[in-house]
């Protein structure tokens, strides 16, 4: 459960922080929103993290004349770089890196097919379909001694 | 399900059910000895495993608190996770990949071969390769290792195709898809691999050798195995004559139990094994049990490791198929002209996006990381694994400021890289990059060491009692019925992945214990 102390605008700022930390032009908004929501859930269970989050998001908004969500990509990255190593950003990044890249929608975009056992593994689904290099040998002559 | 009485003093108690503990237990059960195995973790099986990197990590990994110190990068990147090993029945054999090289003769005589290396605490093993060879044969047959004893090799997967073509182009000769302890065809009641791409998350299919699917079920069928999961050893007890008499452990309900024993075998991995000995100090053993040498916990080794990723213009899909079924052995040779002693292997490795993002540059974020992940589909990976130098101050100690759920002081893992380790890692990463560049990689990326998967040393084998903790059979110099049955006994680490050697040594040790017990019982 996200805390009542986090406003809708704070959430949008957090989503933008996750987008800025992990920029992928191919990703839609959904995976970033899901990663941000997990951060909020975790902060809801951890008063110290929640306090850091409230403070950290507020500080990001105060860095320029306009709110963090309205900054252009390069400026947002520069502002975030200024917060690198703070407990706030470290905690957000540590959480988001796990959620974002465990998201099946992200897997598909990156070309990872994930769980395969229910589909019979990859043995008949391309485990050896690379065809832009010659077929290599799989044994060598002096295996016992090498 | 066999159950022995807590006060049955005829049993052998084995602490830990991984490569060493599971093997020594099965070998003793087969010979008719009553054996109690205490496993700290739960009894997970193939159906329980999840093909999701983080979920599986949460399910299987040993995440009880530990601390780190020293200059190694893991202490910065993963200060509370020095090692990535398993807490479950089958131990780390449920998560290992399967690579099975043997030690070479000179690696068992590292001090004589390499000489006196500044800062290193090298020592020759008290056994020679010729004594180990029959047990390597037994272990390979037991495990169904490919490329050995008539077992067919695994086919080339995509990651291997890149790796092997690169190896050929840079002039390497000794590359192949094994030896590897996963079935290419059905063997020993276990099916052939379906190349499902998950090893570190447990093998749902049971094609990979582990004590979970091979040794422990065989032991169970003898009626001599009493396997107790969720049983965390807290202390080894001894009597006034200096013999071990049993083990105190916390059961699944949090109750402290005492299991009496004729013999105690400790196989908790090279962090938990010395921790248990240090926790078992007494008036007679003030510095910890079996520690008159002061060597318990010292000479902790973790192998010199690193990862190289190559990114290409065309798809690789490295995650499809067996994770580590590709080995280049050329750099494992004895050749001290490379600027370091010891050798290393290059082995294929694959991670999913979740673990790649976490491990490729721990704590980092931004476009450098995301550009790399955008190339995921076209990425090939290899792991460097080589001999590291034992150092007296690389050691496991008790951290009395931090306790676990049972109020037991946790292990602190202290490690400093030796200059030799650093030189070897650089060489390996350079050679790894050359392999990928030879087949047209657009870029190569080097990843720092992960939390240790190969934990070695800390109760080393020595000829003289003052140099180590156990003798040539893994029997404690100080306690005649106490044995160490895991990789803690490694006098030096060699380049080879350790599991095969742990299994060979445990098989040999069980034979010895059986002979000795038959004399006394």
Chain B residues whose beta carbon lies within 8 Å of the beta carbon of residue A32: none
Burial B344-378 (b: 16+ CB within 10 A, else e): bbbbbbbbbbbbbbbbbbbeebbeebbebbbbbbb
Query: Do the Cβ atoms of B152 and B421 come closer than 8 Å?
Result: no
Q: Is B317 on the interface with A (CB under 8 A)?
A: yes
Q: Which residue of B has its CA nearest to A103?
A: B354
Q: Which residue of B has its CA nearest to A138?
A: B176
**Å from A22 to nearest chain B CA?**
6
Contacts of A89 (CB under 8 A, 6+ apart): A17, A21, A56, A80, A83
Q: Do A146 and B165 touch (CB under 8 A)?
A: no
CA distances from B483 to B90, B144, B195 (A): 19, 27, 38
Chain A residues whose beta carbon lies within 8 Å of the beta carbon of residue B207: none
Q: Which residue of A has its CA nearest to B101?
A: A146
pLDDT digits (tens, 9 = 90+) for B416-431: 999 999 999 999 999 9
Q: Do A140 and B156 touch (CB under 8 A)?
A: no
| Residue B517 confidence (pLDDT) | 84
Average pLDDT score over residue span A102-118: 98
| Residue A3 confidence (pLDDT) | 81
| Residue B521 confidence (pLDDT) | 53
Q: Is B319 on the interface with A (CB under 8 A)?
A: yes
Going through B8-143 in order, the beta strands assigned E by DSSP cover 12-15, 35-38, 67-69
**Of residues B24, B66, B58, the one with CA closest to residue B42:** B58
Q: Which residue of B has its CA nearest to A100?
A: B354
pLDDT digits (tens, 9 = 90+) for A54-90: 999 999 999 999 999 999 999 999 999 999 999 999 9
Average pLDDT, chain B: 97
Q: Which residue of A has its CA nearest to B165?
A: A136
| Residue A145 confidence (pLDDT) | 44
Q: Is the pLDDT of residue A146 over 50?
A: no
| Residue A141 confidence (pLDDT) | 78
Residue extents of the structural domains in chain A: 10-21+29-115
How far out from the chain centre does Cα A143 lie? 43
Which of A98, A101, A126, A144 to mutate to probe the B interface, most B CBs <10 Å?
Answer: A101
Burial class (CB in 10 A: 0-12, 13-18, 19+), B487: buried
Taking the model in full, what pTM does it have?
0.97
Average pLDDT score over residue span B316-336: 97
Q: Do A90 and B363 touch (CB under 8 A)?
A: yes
Average pLDDT score over residue span B451-460: 97
Burial class (CB in 10 A: 0-12, 13-18, 19+), A108: exposed
pLDDT digits (tens, 9 = 90+) for B438-450: 999 999 999 988 9
Which of A102, A109, A129 to mutate to probe the B interface, most B CBs <10 Å?
Answer: A102
Which of B137, B157, B179, B354 to mutate to probe the A interface, most A CBs <10 Å?
Answer: B354
Chain B residues whose beta carbon lies within 8 Å of the beta carbon of residue A114: 51-52, 352
Q: Is B158 on the interface with A (CB under 8 A)?
A: yes
Average pLDDT score over residue span B80-104: 97
Q: How far apart are CA B89 and CA B25, in angstroms?
A: 13
B 423-442 near A (Cβ less than 8 A)? 439
Smallest Cβ distance to B157: which of A93, A128, A133? A128
Average pLDDT score over residue span B297-306: 97
3-state DSSP call for residue B472? Answer: coil
Q: Residue A71 region, left (φ>0) first, then alpha (ψ -120 to 50), else beta?
A: beta
B 375-414 near A (Cβ less than 8 A)? 376-378
Q: Is the pLDDT of residue B315 over 50?
A: yes
Hunting for tokens 């193939």 — which residue is that?
B46
Q: Do A115 and B52 touch (CB under 8 A)?
A: yes
Q: Which residue of A has its CA nearest to B158?
A: A128
Q: Do A107 and B352 touch (CB under 8 A)?
A: yes
Hunting for tokens 């499809």 — which residue is that?
B320
Band of the pLDDT at A1, cuts 50, 70, 90? low
Q: How far apart are CA B116 and CA B368, in angstroms?
A: 43
Chain A residues whose beta carbon lies within 8 Å of the beta carbon of residue B353: 101, 106-107, 110, 112
Q: Report the percentage of chain B scoring pLDDT > 90.
A: 97
**Å from A68 to nearest chain B CA?**
16
Q: How far apart are CA B196 and CA A125, in angstroms?
A: 10
Question: Which has more confidence, B519 or B104?
Answer: B104
- Supply A111's token pair: 């070309």
pLDDT digits (tens, 9 = 90+) for B139-173: 999 999 999 999 999 999 999 999 999 999 999 99
Chain B residues whose beta carbon lies within 8 Å of the beta carbon of residue A134: 165
Q: Do A143 and B197 touch (CB under 8 A)?
A: no
Q: What are phi and psi of A84, to 5 degrees?
A: -60, 135
**Å from B473 to nearest chain A CA?**
25
DSSP B103: P
Q: Which residue of B has its CA nearest to A19?
A: B366
pLDDT digits (tens, 9 = 90+) for B185-241: 999 999 999 999 999 999 999 999 999 999 999 999 999 999 999 999 999 999 999
Q: Is B304 on the interface with A (CB under 8 A)?
A: no
Query: Do the Cβ atoms of B418 and B426 come closer than 8 Å?
Result: no
**Å from A78 to nearest chain B CA?**
10
Q: Is B161 on the interface with A (CB under 8 A)?
A: yes
Query: Do the Cβ atoms of B150 and B138 come closer than 8 Å?
Result: no
Chain A residues whose beta carbon lies within 8 Å of the beta carbon of residue B162: 130, 133
Helix H or strand E encompassing B278: helix B269-279
pLDDT digits (tens, 9 = 90+) for B168-185: 999 999 999 999 999 999
| Residue B334 confidence (pLDDT) | 97
Interface size, chain A vs chain B, as Cβ–Cβ contacts under 8 Å? 160
Average pLDDT score over residue span B34-49: 98
ipTM value: 0.95
């Amino acid at each position: 459960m996200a805390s009542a102390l986090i406003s809708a605008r704070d959430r949008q700022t957090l989503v933008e922080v996750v987008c800025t930390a992990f920029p992928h032009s191919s990703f839609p908004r959904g995976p970033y929103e899901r990663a941000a929501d997990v951060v909020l859930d975790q902060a809801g269970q951890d008063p110290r993290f929640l306090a850091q989050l409230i403070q950290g998001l507020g500080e990001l908004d105060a860095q320029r004349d306009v709110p963090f969500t309205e900054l252009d990509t390069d400026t947002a990255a520069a502002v975030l770089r200024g917060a690198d190593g703070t407990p706030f950003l470290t905690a957000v990044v540590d959480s988001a890196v796990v959620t974002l890249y465990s998201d099946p929608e992200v897997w598909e975009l990156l070309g990872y097919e994930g769980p395969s056992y229910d589909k019979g593994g990859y043995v008949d689904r391309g485990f050896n379909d690379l065809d832009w290099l010659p077929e290599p040998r799989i044994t060598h002559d002096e295996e016992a001694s090498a | 399900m066999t159950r022995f009485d807590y006060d049955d003093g005829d049993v052998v108690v084995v602490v830990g059910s991984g490569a060493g503990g599971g093997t020594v237990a099965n070998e003793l059960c087969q010979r008719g000895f009553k054996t109690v195995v205490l496993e700290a973790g739960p009894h997970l099986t193939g159906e329980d495993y999840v093909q999701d990197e983080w979920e599986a990590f949460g399910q299987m990994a040993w995440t009880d608190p530990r601390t780190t110190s020293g200059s190694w990068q893991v202490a910065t990147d993963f200060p509370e996770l020095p090692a990535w090993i398993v807490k479950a029945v089958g131990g780390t054999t449920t998560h290992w990949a399967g690579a099975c090289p043997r030690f070479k003769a000179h690696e068992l005589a590292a001090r004589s071969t390499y000489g006196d290396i500044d800062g290193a605490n090298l020592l020759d093993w008290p056994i020679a390769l010729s004594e180990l060879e029959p047990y390597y044969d037994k272990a390979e047959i037991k495990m169904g290792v490919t490329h050995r004893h008539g077992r067919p090799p695994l086919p080339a997967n995509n990651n291997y195709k890149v790796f092997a073509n690169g190896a050929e182009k840079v002039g390497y000769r000794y590359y192949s898809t094994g030896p590897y302890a996963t079935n290419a065809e059905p063997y020993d009641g276990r099916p052939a691999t379906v190349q499902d791409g998950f090893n570190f998350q447990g093998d749902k299919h049971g094609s990979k050798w582990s004590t979970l699917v091979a040794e422990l079920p065989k032991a169970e069928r003898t009626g001599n195995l009493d396997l107790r999961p969720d049983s965390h050893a807290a202390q080894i007890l001894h009597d006034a004559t200096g013999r071990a008499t049993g083990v105190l452990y916390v059961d699944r309900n949090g109750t402290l139990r005492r299991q009496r024993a004729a013999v105690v075998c400790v196989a908790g991995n090279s962090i938990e094994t010395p921790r248990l000995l240090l926790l078992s100090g007494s008036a007679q053993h003030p510095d910890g049990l079996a520690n008159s040498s002061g060597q318990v916990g010292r000479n902790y080794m973790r192998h010199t490791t690193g990862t190289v990723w190559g990114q290409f213009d065309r798809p690789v899909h490295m995650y499809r198929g067996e994770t580590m079924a590709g080995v280049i052995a050329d750099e494992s040779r004895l050749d001290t002209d490379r600027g370091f002693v010891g050798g290393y292997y290059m082995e294929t490795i694959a991670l999913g996006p979740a673990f790649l993002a976490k491990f490729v540059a721990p704590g980092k974020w931004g476009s450098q990381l995301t550009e790399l992940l955008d190339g995921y589909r076209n990425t090939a990976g290899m792991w460097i694994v080589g001999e590291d130098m034992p150092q007296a101050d690389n050691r496991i100690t008790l951290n009395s400021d931090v306790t676990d759920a049972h109020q037991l002081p946790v292990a602190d893992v202290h490690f400093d890289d030796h200059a030799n380790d650093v030189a070897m890692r650089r060489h390996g990463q350079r050679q790894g990059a050359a392999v990928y560049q030879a087949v047209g990689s657009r870029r190569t990326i080097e990843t720092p060491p992960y939390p240790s998967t190969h934990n070695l040393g800390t109760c080393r084998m020595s000829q003289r009692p003052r140099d180590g903790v156990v003798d040539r059979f893994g029997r404690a110099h100080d306690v005649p019925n106490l044995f160490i049955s895991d990789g803690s006994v490694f006098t030096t680490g060699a380049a080879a992945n350790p599991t095969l050697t742990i299994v060979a040594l445990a098989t040999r040790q069980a034979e010895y214990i059986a002979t000795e017990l038959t004399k006394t019982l």
